[in-house]
């Protein structure tokens, strides 16, 4: 065990939050939060630099006994899958601070504390190698998120916050039972790696699979349990939406990757068709709903459901292309949808309306804004050359290999995506300028640019040269896949 | 019994003796305390409890049976005694200002609390149904009086009267069970009972007796179907006493339940099915009824019912882990519940009662620090990590799953999700509403200290549960 | 034999009831009976009695007294058996009972200090 | 056969007791009035019979033939029950009281007690406690303010003095190691308890005065301020029951004092028959009762309560402690 | 000799009467009396069983029950006095102001 880099990554935002507690003044709070998130981002980049892409083994591991009586450890470590998300989280963290620079005008300090603790917990989730620790991070996120939505959200924020809270809580509590059952079947350990090596009877695997499914499906969200998402997204402040879309939704998928697949391979394979069906349903259903939206944020929110459907589709295709595509698509969705929410937030700050009908001809008053919006919209549509194209293509090919119907659904979803996104862009950016827009809208300033640019960079980088990203995940995904297939069908 | 064994027994019960002696002295001395010197009472009471704690600690090294098998000073008892000390001490700290405001800060208040403490301590150490009964009554009689301590307040009178009558009925039921056990086994000692029934554990008479005893005890912890007294009593009693009752006496009730349940007689009688049903119904009732409460104290009363239900799950799980989980649960519950009650108590100032949830609207705006504390307690009560409340529930669930009660565990978590709703509803009021009034919490140094202790416990046990867990586990095996 | 010890009690009760019954019967044969409203009025200086006599508020000391009695009388119950077996249980019995009495005295002293025993004429 | 004889004997003894207790008030009232008269330097009743000897009989006939008046608003059932409740306890108590060891009649040994209970003392206190119900029912049922107030006061007084009374005899029990009155008397063969228990005697006797509601503690029936206390509304034969009950209690207290503190039928110096000793001692205390009545002034009610709680109770408790310590000191070596 | 089960039946009957009294009667004093009845049924049980087992614990327990019940009733009466002084009623239904 060397330098506890991961602990530093996790606790840097905590330290920032602690510092903030003793500060006064809104600007001081903003700058402090920004500097800590940037520091954190720097640490993450350092981590990526030192990351060994040739092995699937956990790296930067740390293990300290926490509750020895129950075999609980404070165990951290990352492999290719989580490394990507650790980085994404840190990146979006900085952007969130920037995005809420002026959007949050009351209780700035408290907001920043929430944001920073949120970031720490999310990082913790991706780094945890102990199920208990994972659960603690996972569940504790509810507190700051609840506050972010509930305190700084829109008019319906209280309802949205409570709905978000209860959905997630109910799901994750069942997950908790699953964890405990796993603990006893897995030889009284919460060590994720050790549990991965267990061969559980199929009956237990099925039960656990559904226990986990409920928790993860709520987070993803998959279709029957997605209803909290539009409310939460719409009511949350911009930064909240970015976190929700960018990181929180990934956690469900991450859970599938980290727990469902390796620990319950037999059940995962057995129920993969069901999962594919649900994913296909989410893709199409989310797309159709997005098509019907007039509210910008709602549209992006429903598109998230659709896009996350691609992710789960890729994962449960259970082949290399599907998995890699799914994981990459998680990253892409984080970047792109995060950016779209940021853009909705930017325009909302200026006009205080999110109704598509209120906009038009933005191109003329805010050319820079609309240009970048075009980039991200296209990215969301998975146009070649953008990041999502790579991911979606991989998912589609994996999906078709696994199940023809699901693959077709995905194609349909992609088409729907093109329809609503283009429609939205057309109405907002092109056409005659609306009266209100022409008078009040100013273009993006430097701070906003600082938030937009990194995202744009990643959109193009992944779209044009995805190899470094695929390299990071490659070893881990391959290992996971062989693990699942050898265990899942070997019996 | 010779003088030597008497001395040994007295030594084993030294903490109890300290508390009772101290209470007696304070009772008399208190009559000479002049107005404006009431702080003497607080410090004297605190000193008494601390001396008792010291005595407990010094005697904790070995198991000491005493009084011809009626009493035992073992680690199990020590653990519970520390929970009681904690609850009592914090109640003292919280009481000073509140008692002044309500005009109940006489010496009797503190003395009764001390006597109730001694009753709880006896309960934790009792190994004979007689000593259990005596301890139990010593405790509840004091709480009856304390409940009605706001003499001019009708709610308080009413609460006390209901409490007395229902409490006496439950005592009667308990005693009837005891008499049946005595008739069937010829002994009232827990060990003796166990030895006497090895032959035919499923004797219907014994089962009936055990059911009666369980029913009587269940009343004391406020579980369904003997919960009806609890909301009224919690609402009517002075808030400090409510805080005390929801932690100390409740823990004492569980101490006895565990002591009885560690007994093979109960273990043999398949009574756990009843206990499991009680746990489910209790938790369901507490959680669902709390959803519609507007009064903070009443809500906390139902929340306390729900928590009792969760702890009973631990009892139903049984085994060393089950017992340890209940013990840990109670310890943690003492911290977080006293914390949230501390916040409610602190709000009582001037003509502001702070009893209605809506009263807290926008509290976070003017008092972010205190609001953060309340948030901490509330999320802990809801069982969200990284607070201690989560670990308490987690360990109970571990015990449940360990003994194969996965279905019970699922029910427990689903109900706790329901329960989470009303906690976050309060958070919502505190954080997401606009303030309607200026808050002037009665934040004395003592209240500050109490809040600091509870907050440290709530977050500390949540982050570093290991030591406390070990303590609870060791205490079970020692007993 | 317990029955022979307590049977006379029953006899005595029966006897008393019998005697009173007979006396009342004899008296009822002899005595006149001519009630009229004024005679049937309760004795209250000739005024009409106002309201239920027992409806008035009684002074609290009466209740306190009743409570004190209940407590003290019952505690005395512990002393009797102790007094009987005093010599058999020896020193330990002494000590324990003195502790008991001491506690009783504390309660008594408290009641005294608190003014529960003060009775205004 | 034996059983029938035993039962018959019991019936006979009980009947005899009832007869004595019912008849004794006759001479006692006469005595009381005579003594009163002479203390106050007048003659007392002189008209009916020689020196008014038949006066009590005349009174009895008067009471028997007087109208039985029940107030209109009264609770009739309780009103009728109360006198009997007041009368029965002192009578029942006498079942447990020994008057001596035994005498031989026609060659057969007959015990001078109806029942030798091992818990006689407790029995006495328990049964005498019922007396309170007669008082409170009587006062309450009449639905008269005087009566209610009187009965409350009487009640308060009786229960106040019951406590020191009970505590006072514990010293005696400690000495005798028994609650059987027979054993208690037997334990006094050599030394009377009065020697060891002067404080106990004092407390017991004073409390007894109050229990019997005799001057100086007859506040509740103080004719001057409360009508006649709880039996204000009673007349005729029911009133007579209360009166008889009062005399029975006077007698009972005297008997108990003699048994508990003055050696019962154990004589001293002069070898008289035990029964005679007993009767003489009891007579003396009955006389003391009457004597007190016309010697002492009446206490105020608050004084009365204060004496009970603040003097007698601490005294009796101190008595227990001191007796215990002395007994322990004697037993220790 | 009275058989044991007579006592037990008596105890049960008293217990039921007491419980019914507590639940059904509206006057608080009557409720308290019913409570006494209930607890005395327990005493009868204890004493009967104690005699049956030729064991003194039953009696000890009964004495404790009596004493502690006395204390309990004393407290109940005290509270009742306080209540009556605030509102002069002895009816259970009149007492209730808290609902829910």
| Structure confidence by residue, pLDDT tens digits, A429-441 | 887 766 555 556 7
Q: Residue B106: closest CA among chain C residues belongs to which residue?
A: C114
Task: Find the mean pLDDT for residues A233-249.
Answer: 87
Task: Find the mean pLDDT for residues A181-199.
Answer: 86
Work out the mean pLDDT of chain D and round it to a whole number: 84
Distance in angstroms (rounded) separating the CA atoms of residues A409 and D331 = 102
Q: Tell me the whole-structure pTM to 2 decimals.
A: 0.90
Closest CB to A184: pick one of B385, B401, B466: B401
Lookup: tokens for C98: 């003195």
Q: Report the candidate in B142, B124, B140 with the shortest Cα–Cα distance to residue B132.
A: B124
Distance in angstroms (rounded) separating the CA atoms of residues A30 and A101 = 7
Q: 3-class SS at D103?
A: strand
Distance in angstroms (rounded) separating the CA atoms of residues B334 and B419 = 18
Q: Residue B20: closest CA among chain C residues belongs to which residue?
A: C103
CA angle in degrees (0–180, nearest 5) for A470-A472-A477:
75
Q: How confident is the model at residue E95 (pLDDT cuts 50, 70, 90)?
A: low
CA–CA min distance B28, chain C (Å): 6
Q: Residue E75: closest CA among chain C residues belongs to which residue?
A: C67
Task: Find the mean pLDDT for residues B472-477.
Answer: 83
Kindly give, in sequence order, each residue whose CB lies less than 8 Å from that of residue C35, ignoring residues fewer than 6 positions away: D67, D69, D70
E97 vs B: CB within 8 A: yes
Closest CB to C67: pick one of E63, E78, E85: E78
Q: How many CB pairs under 8 A join C and D?
A: 206
What is the predicted pLDDT for the residue at B197?
Answer: 66
C60 vs E: CB within 8 A: yes
With contact defined as 3+ CB pairs under 8 Å, the chains touching E are B, C
CB-based contact A180 B398, cutoff 8 Å: yes
Restricting to A residues 112-141, those with a Cβ less than 8 Å away from any Cβ of B are 132, 135-137, 139-140
Q: Which long-range contacts (CB under 8 A, 24 or more apart) does D33-42 make?
A: D35/D287, D35/D290, D35/D291, D35/D294, D36/D290, D36/D293, D36/D294, D39/D291, D39/D294, D39/D295, D40/D294
Mutate: best of C113, C116, C117, C118, partner B, most B CBs <10 A: C113
Q: Residue D317: closest CA among chain C residues belongs to which residue?
A: C101
pLDDT over 90 (residue B252): yes
Q: How confident is the model at residue B41 (pLDDT cuts 50, 70, 90)?
A: confident
C1 vs D: CB within 8 A: no
CB B262 within 8 A of CB B320: no
Q: Which has more confidence, B156 or C63?
A: B156
CA–CA min distance C77, chain B (Å): 17
Closest CB to B432: pick one of A137, A142, A150: A150
Q: Which residues of E touch C78 (CB under 8 A)?
A: 63, 67
Q: How many CA atoms lie within 13 A of A106 on its CB side?
A: 9
Task: Find the mean pLDDT for residues E10-22.
Answer: 91
CB-based contact E86 B157, cutoff 8 Å: yes
E15 in any annotated domain: no
| Ramachandran quadrant class, B367 (left: phi over 0; alpha: psi -120 to 50; beta: rest) | beta
Q: Which has more confidence, A8 or D218?
A: A8
Closest CB to D72: pick one of C41, C43, C80: C41
Residue with tokens 């006649």: D228
What is the predicted pLDDT for the residue at C45?
Answer: 56
E55 in any annotated domain: yes
E53 vs B: CB within 8 A: yes
CB-based contact D173 C69, cutoff 8 Å: no
What number of residues does chain E have?
Answer: 100
Q: Residue B185: closest CA among chain E residues belongs to which residue?
A: E53
Q: How many CA atoms lie within 13 A of C101 on its CB side?
A: 23
Q: 3-class SS at B126?
A: strand
pLDDT for A449-465, tens place per residue?
A: 888 888 999 988 988 88
Mutate: best of B123, B130, B139, B176, partner E, most E CBs <10 A: B176
Mutate: best of A149, A176, A228, partner B, most B CBs <10 A: A176
Distance in angstroms (rounded) separating the CA atoms of residues B99 and B114 = 16
User: From the centroid of its chain, how far is CA A137?
Assistant: 15
Work out the mean pLDDT of chain E and round it to a whole number: 84
CA angle in degrees (0–180, nearest 5) for A475-A479-A483:
170
Task: Find the mean pLDDT for residues A249-264.
Answer: 89
B409 vs A: CB within 8 A: yes
C109 vs B: CB within 8 A: yes
E62 in any annotated domain: yes
CA–CA min distance E56, chain C (Å): 12
How large is the greatest C-alpha to C-alpha distance in chain C, in angstroms?
A: 69
CB A24 within 8 A of CB A47: no
Mutate: best of B27, B32, B145, partner C, most C CBs <10 A: B27
Q: How confident is the model at residue C62 (pLDDT cuts 50, 70, 90)?
A: confident
Closest CB to B28: pick one of C91, C96, C106: C106
Kindly give, in sequence order, each residue whose CB lies less than 8 Å from that of residue B408, ignoring residues fewer than 6 positions away: B276, B279, B280, B313, B316, B317, B400
pLDDT over 50 (residue A491): no
Q: Which residues of B touch C110 (CB under 8 A)?
A: 27-28, 31
CB-based contact D166 C105, cutoff 8 Å: no
- Tell me how crowded residue B359 is: count the other CB atoms within 10 A of its CB: 17
Q: 3-class SS at A63?
A: strand
Among chain E, residues having any CB pair with chain C shorter than 8 Å are 63, 66-67, 70-71, 73-74, 77-78, 81, 85, 88
pLDDT over 70 (residue B9): yes
pLDDT over 80 (residue A99): yes
Q: How confident is the model at residue C57 (pLDDT cuts 50, 70, 90)?
A: low
What is the predicted pLDDT for the residue at C46?
Answer: 55
What is the predicted pLDDT for the residue at A120?
Answer: 93
Domain containing residue E54: 26-90
Q: Which has more confidence, B381 or C36?
A: B381
Mutate: best of E76, E92, E96, partner B, most B CBs <10 A: E76
- The residues facing A419 across adjacent strands are none
Q: Residue B7: closest CA among chain C residues belongs to which residue?
A: C92
CB-based contact D73 C49, cutoff 8 Å: yes
CA dihedral E12, E14, E16, E21 (to 10 degrees): -170
CA–CA min distance A206, chain B (Å): 14
Q: Report the candidate in A155, A288, A309, A169 with the shortest Cα–Cα distance to residue A228.
A: A169
CB D243 within 8 A of CB D213: no
| Ramachandran quadrant class, B270 (left: phi over 0; alpha: psi -120 to 50; beta: rest) | left
Closest CB to C92: pick one of B3, B24, B28: B3
Mutate: best of E12, E63, E80, E98, partner B, most B CBs <10 A: E98
For residue E49, CA distances in Å to B204, E58, E61 come to 18, 7, 11
E54 vs B: CB within 8 A: no
Please state the domain count of chain E. Answer: 1
Distance in angstroms (rounded) separating the CA atoms of residues A274 and A255 = 17
Closest CB to D162: pick one of C8, C23, C73: C73
E8 in any annotated domain: no
E59 in any annotated domain: yes
Closest CB to C83: pick one of D94, D174, D310: D174
Q: Which residues of B touch C95 (CB under 8 A)?
A: 6
What is the predicted pLDDT for the residue at B88?
Answer: 94
Work out the mean pLDDT of chain C and round it to a whole number: 78
E12 in any annotated domain: no
pLDDT for B437-466, tens place per residue?
A: 888 888 888 899 999 999 999 999 989 999
CB B459 within 8 A of CB B388: yes
pLDDT over 90 (residue C69): no
What is the predicted pLDDT for the residue at B391?
Answer: 92
pLDDT over 60 (residue B55): yes
E19 in any annotated domain: no
Distance in angstroms (rounded) separating the CA atoms of residues B237 and B162 = 11
What is the predicted pLDDT for the residue at B325?
Answer: 92
pLDDT over 50 (residue B6): yes
Distance in angstroms (rounded) separating the CA atoms of residues A157 and A153 = 5
Whether cis (ω within 30° of 0) applies to the bond prior to B225 is yes
For residue B106, CA distances in Å to B32, B33, B86, B138, E26 come to 11, 9, 22, 20, 34
E35 in any annotated domain: yes
Work out the mean pLDDT of chain A and round it to a whole number: 87
C70 vs D: CB within 8 A: no
Lookup: tokens for B236: 């009517």
Q: Which has more confidence, B337 or B184?
A: B337
What is the predicted pLDDT for the residue at E73?
Answer: 87
B196 vs E: CB within 8 A: no
Restricting to A residues 167-226, those with a Cβ less than 8 Å away from any Cβ of B are 169-170, 173-174, 176-177, 180-181, 183-184
Mutate: best of C62, C63, C110, partner E, most E CBs <10 A: C63
CA angle in degrees (0–180, nearest 5) for D103-D106-D109:
35
Residues of chain D with pLDDT under 70: 219-229, 331-333
Q: How many CB pairs under 8 A join A and B?
A: 89
């Amino acid at each position: 065990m060397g330098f506890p880099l991961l602990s530093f990554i996790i606790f840097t935002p905590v330290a920032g939050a602690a510092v903030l507690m003793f500060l006064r003044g809104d600007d001081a709070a903003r700058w402090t939060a920004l500097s800590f998130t940037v520091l954190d981002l720097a640490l993450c980049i350092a981590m990526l630099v030192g990351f060994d892409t040739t092995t699937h083994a956990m790296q930067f591991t740390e293990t300290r006994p926490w509750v020895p009586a129950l075999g609980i450890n404070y165990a951290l470590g990352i492999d290719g899958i989580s490394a990507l998300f650790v980085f994404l989280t840190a990146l979006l963290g900085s952007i969130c601070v920037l995005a809420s620079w002026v959007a949050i005008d009351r209780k700035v300090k408290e907001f920043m504390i929430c944001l920073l603790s949120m970031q720490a917990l999310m990082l913790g989730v991706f780094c945890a190698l102990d199920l208990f620790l994972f659960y603690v991070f996972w569940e504790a996120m509810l507190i700051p998120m609840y506050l972010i939505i509930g305190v700084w959200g829109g008019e319906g924020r209280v309802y949205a916050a409570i709905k978000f809270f209860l959905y997630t809580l109910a799901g994750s509590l069942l997950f908790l039972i699953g964890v405990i059952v796993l603990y006893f079947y897995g030889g009284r350990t919460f060590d994720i790696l050790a549990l991965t090596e267990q061969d559980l009877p199929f009956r237990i695997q099925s039960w656990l699979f559904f226990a986990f499914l409920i928790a993860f499906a709520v987070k993803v969200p998959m279709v029957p349990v997605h209803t909290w998402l539009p409310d939460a997204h719409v009511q949350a402040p911009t930064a909240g939406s970015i976190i929700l879309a960018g990181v929180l939704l990934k956690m469900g998928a991450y859970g599938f990757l980290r727990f469902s697949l390796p620990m319950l391979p037999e059940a995962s394979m057995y129920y993969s068709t069901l999962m594919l069906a649900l994913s296909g349903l989410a893709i199409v259903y989310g797309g159709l709903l997005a098509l019907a939206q007039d509210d910008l944020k709602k549209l992006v929110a429903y598109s998230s459901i659709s896009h996350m459907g691609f992710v789960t589709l890729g994962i449960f295709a259970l082949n290399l292309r599907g998995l890699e595509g799914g994981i990459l698509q998680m990253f892409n969705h984080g970047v792109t949808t995060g950016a779209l929410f940021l853009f909705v937030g930017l325009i909302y700050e200026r006009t205080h309306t999110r109704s598509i009908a209120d906009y038009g001809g933005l191109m003329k008053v805010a050319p820079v804004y609309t240009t970048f919006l075009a980039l991200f919209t296209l990215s969301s549509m998975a146009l070649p050359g953008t990041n999502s194209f790579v991911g979606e293509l991989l998912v589609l090919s994996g999906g078709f290999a696994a199940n023809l119907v699901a693959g077709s659904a995905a194609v349909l979803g992609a088409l729907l995506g093109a329809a609503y996104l283009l429609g939205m862009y057309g109405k907002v950016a092109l056409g005659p300028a609306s009266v209100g827009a022409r008078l009040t809208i100013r273009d993006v300033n430097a701070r906003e640019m600082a938030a937009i640019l990194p995202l744009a960079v990643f959109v193009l980088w992944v779209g044009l040269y995805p190899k470094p990203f695929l390299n990071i995940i490659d070893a881990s995904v391959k290992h996971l896949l062989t693990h699942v297939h050898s265990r899942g069908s070997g019996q | 019994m010779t003088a030597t064994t008497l001395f040994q027994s007295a030594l084993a019960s030294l903490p109890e003796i300290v508390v009772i002696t101290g209470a007696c002295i304070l009772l008399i001395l208190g009559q000479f305390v002049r107005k404006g010197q009431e702080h003497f009472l607080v410090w004297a009471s605190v000193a008494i409890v601390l001396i008792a704690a010291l005595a407990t600690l010094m005697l904790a090294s070995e198991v000491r049976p005493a009084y011809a098998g009626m009493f035992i000073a073992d680690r199990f008892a020590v653990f519970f005694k520390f929970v009681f000390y904690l609850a009592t001490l914090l109640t003292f700290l919280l009481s000073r200002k509140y008692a002044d405001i309500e005009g109940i800060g006489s010496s009797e208040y503190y003395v009764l609390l001390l006597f109730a403490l001694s009753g709880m301590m006896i309960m934790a150490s009792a190994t004979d149904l007689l000593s259990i009964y005596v301890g139990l009554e010593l405790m509840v009689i004091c709480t009856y009086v304390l409940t009605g301590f706001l003499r001019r307040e009708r709610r308080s009178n009413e609460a006390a009267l209901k409490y007395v009558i229902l409490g006496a009925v439950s005592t009667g039921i308990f005693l009837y069970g005891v008499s049946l056990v005595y008739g069937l086994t010829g002994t009232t000692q827990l060990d003796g009972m166990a030895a006497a029934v090895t032959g035919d554990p499923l004797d219907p008479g014994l089962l009936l007796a055990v059911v009666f005893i369980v029913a009587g005890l269940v009343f004391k912890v406020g579980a369904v179907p003997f919960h009806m007294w609890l909301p009224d009593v919690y609402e009517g009693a002075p808030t400090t006493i409510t805080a005390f009752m929801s932690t100390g006496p409740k823990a004492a009730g569980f101490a006895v339940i565990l002591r009885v349940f560690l007994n093979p007689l109960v273990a043999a009688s398949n009574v756990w099915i009843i206990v499991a049903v009680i746990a489910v119904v209790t938790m369901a009732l507490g959680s669902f009824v709390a959803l519609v409460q507007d009064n903070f104290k009443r809500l906390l009363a139902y929340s306390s019912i729900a928590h009792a239900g969760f702890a009973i799950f631990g009892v139903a799980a049984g085994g060393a882990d089950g017992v340890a989980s209940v013990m840990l649960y109670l310890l943690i519950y003492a911290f977080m519940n006293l914390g949230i009650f501390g916040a409610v108590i602190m709000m009582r100032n001037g003509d502001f009662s702070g009893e209605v949830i809506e009263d807290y609207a926008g509290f976070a705006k003017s008092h972010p620090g205190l609001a953060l504390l309340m948030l901490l307690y509330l999320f802990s009560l809801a069982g969200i990590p990284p607070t201690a409340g989560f670990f308490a529930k987690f360990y109970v669930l571990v015990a449940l799953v360990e003994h194969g009660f996965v279905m019970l565990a699922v029910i427990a978590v689903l109900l706790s999700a329901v329960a989470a709703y009303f906690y976050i509803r309060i958070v919502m009021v505190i954080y997401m509403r606009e303030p309607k009034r200026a808050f002037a919490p009665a934040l004395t140094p003592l209240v500050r200290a109490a809040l600091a202790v509870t907050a440290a416990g709530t977050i500390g046990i949540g982050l570093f549960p290991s030591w406390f867990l070990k303590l609870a586990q060791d205490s079970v095996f020692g007993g | 034999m317990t029955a022979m010890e307590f049977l006379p009690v029953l006899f005595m009760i029966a006897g008393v009831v019998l005697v009173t019954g007979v006396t009342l019967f004899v008296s009822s044969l002899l005595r006149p009976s001519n009630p009229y409203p004024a005679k049937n009025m309760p004795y209250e200086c000739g005024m009409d009695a106002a309201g239920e006599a027992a409806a008035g508020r009684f002074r609290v000391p009466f209740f306190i007294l009743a409570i004190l009695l209940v407590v003290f009388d019952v505690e005395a119950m512990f002393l009797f058996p102790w007094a009987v077996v005093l010599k058999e249980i020896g020193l330990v019995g002494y000590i324990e009972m003195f502790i008991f009495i001491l506690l009783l005295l504390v309660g008594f002293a408290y009641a005294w200090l608190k003014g529960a025993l003060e009775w205004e004429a | 056969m034996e059983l029938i004889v035993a039962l018959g004997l019991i019936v006979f003894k009980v009947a005899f007791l009832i007869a004595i207790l019912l008849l004794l008030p006759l001479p006692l009232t006469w005595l009381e009035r005579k003594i009163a008269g002479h203390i106050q330097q007048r003659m007392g009743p002189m008209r009916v019979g020689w020196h008014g000897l038949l006066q009590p009989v005349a009174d009895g006939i008067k009471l028997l033939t007087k109208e039985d008046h029940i107030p209109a608003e009264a609770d009739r059932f309780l009103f009728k029950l109360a006198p009997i409740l007041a009368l029965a306890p002192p009578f029942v108590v006498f079942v447990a009281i020994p008057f001596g060891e035994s005498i031989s009649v026609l060659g057969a040994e007959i015990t001078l007690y109806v029942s030798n209970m091992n818990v006689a003392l407790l029995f006495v206190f328990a049964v005498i406690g019922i007396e309170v119900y007669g008082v409170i029912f009587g006062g309450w049922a009449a639905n008269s303010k005087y009566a209610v107030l009187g009965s409350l006061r009487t009640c308060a007084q009786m229960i106040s003095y019951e406590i020191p009374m009970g505590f006072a005899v514990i010293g005696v029990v400690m000495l005798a190691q028994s609650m059987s009155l027979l054993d208690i008397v037997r334990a006094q063969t050599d030394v009377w308890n009065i020697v060891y228990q002067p404080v106990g005697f004092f407390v017991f006797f004073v409390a007894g005065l109050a229990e019997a509601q005799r001057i100086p503690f007859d506040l509740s029936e103080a004719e001057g301020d409360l009508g006649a206390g709880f039996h204000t509304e009673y007349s005729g034969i029911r009133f007579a029951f209360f009166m008889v009950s009062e005399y029975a209690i006077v007698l009972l207290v005297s008997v108990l004092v003699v048994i508990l503190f003055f050696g019962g039928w154990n004589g001293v110096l002069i070898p008289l028959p035990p029964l005679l000793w007993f009767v003489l001692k009891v007579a003396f205390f009955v006389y003391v009762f009457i004597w007190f009545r016309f010697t002492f002034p009446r206490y105020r009610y608050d004084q009365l309560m204060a004496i009970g709680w603040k003097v007698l109770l601490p005294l009796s408790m101190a008595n227990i402690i001191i007796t215990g310590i002395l007994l322990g000191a004697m037993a220790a070596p | 000799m009275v058989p044991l089960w007579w006592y037990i039946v008596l105890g049960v009957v008293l217990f039921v009467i007491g419980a019914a009294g507590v639940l059904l009667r509206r006057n608080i004093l009557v409720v308290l009396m019913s409570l006494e009845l209930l607890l005395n049924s327990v005493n009868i049980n204890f004493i009967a069983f104690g005699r049956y087992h030729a064991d003194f614990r039953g009696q000890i327990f009964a004495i404790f029950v009596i004493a502690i019940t006395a204390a309990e009733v004393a407290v109940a009466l005290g509270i009742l006095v306080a209540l009556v002084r605030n509102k002069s009623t002895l009816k259970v239904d009149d007492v209730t102001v808290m609902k829910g």
